[in-house]
Amino acid sequence: MLEKNIDYHLLCDQRLRQSIRTHLKHFAVQSHDATNAKQAAVAITIVDAGHGAGIYSMPTFDAAQEDAALVLTRRSSRLKNHAGQWAFPGGHVDRGEKPEEAALRELHEEVGLKLPRANVLGRLDDFTTRSGFVITPIVVWGGNNVNLSPNPAEVQSIHRIPIAEFMRKDAPILEDTPQGKHPILRMPVGDNWIAAPTAALIYQFREVAVRGKTTRVGHFEQPLFAWK
């Protein structure tokens, strides 16, 4: 078991919502040219932690928890690309769509959570993947007492992972790789980990949206399994 040493406790309340909105409002977003790439958007959605993360190495609770959590999924094993990998709800930006519209649409399609445009709190930096996508992360407020239901065609499982789990002192994990000049970034979860690109977005959310810093993550490398 990894040593956690969690030093944050965050409730899913209006105080956190306003803090994240303010931090993102003052963050200078870096956009990438998607002319020769596939444009995608993901929804980094804050909800209550519910009855637990649904991960064997993390606790479950009889009573719903009010801690703030992020909605992550394990992609269906039947998908052509990135099957079984950790991901935020998201997908292609359709012609004529804005990234915010695409992120909210995919959130509804993948986990059954329909939210209005007013729940968008802001953006993080675009992230260009080794598999040829430019991902625009959209931070969304889901709030308390939400029902999530996986679309089996796309989602194997849904996990509400407390934001505090990503504030651990052993995160991020950086691993040198011969495939690039920069290390691979991983974020520990329970006694396992999530890899970039999803881990890079989680880390920037932690540093920018929660802590109010100006951390960049686009240079971090991705493991070989994420290149396909």
217 in a structural domain: yes
154 in a structural domain: yes
92 in a structural domain: yes
User: Which has the closest alpha carbon to 221: 194, 167, 181, 169?
Assistant: 181
pLDDT reported for residue 80: 56
Mean predicted lDDT score pLDDT of the chain: 90
108 in a structural domain: yes
C-alpha 72/C-alpha 131 separation (Å) is 20
Total domains present in the chain = 1
pTM, rounded to two decimals = 0.93
Q: Which run of H or of E encompasses 189?
A: strand 184-189
pLDDT reported for residue 120: 98
3-state secondary structure (DSSP) of residue 149 = coil
DSSP 25: H
111 in a structural domain: yes
59 in a structural domain: yes
pLDDT reported for residue 2: 36
Q: For residue range 72-98, list pLDDT tens digits in order.
A: 999 865 655 555 689 999 999 999 999
pLDDT reported for residue 75: 81
Q: Domain holding 193: CATH number?
A: 3.90.79.10
Which of 2-6, 41-45, 147-151, 179-183 shows the lowest mean pLDDT across its residues?
2-6
State mean pLDDT over 56-70. Answer: 94
**Domain enclosing residue 222, as ranges:** 14-226
User: Which has the closest alpha carbon to 50: 63, 38, 59?
Assistant: 63
Q: How confident is the model at residue 33 (pLDDT cuts 50, 70, 90)?
A: confident
29 in a structural domain: yes
28 in a structural domain: yes
In this predicted structure, the answer to whether residue 5 has a pLDDT above a threshold of 60 is no
Could you report how far apart the first and last alpha carbons of the chain are, in Å?
30
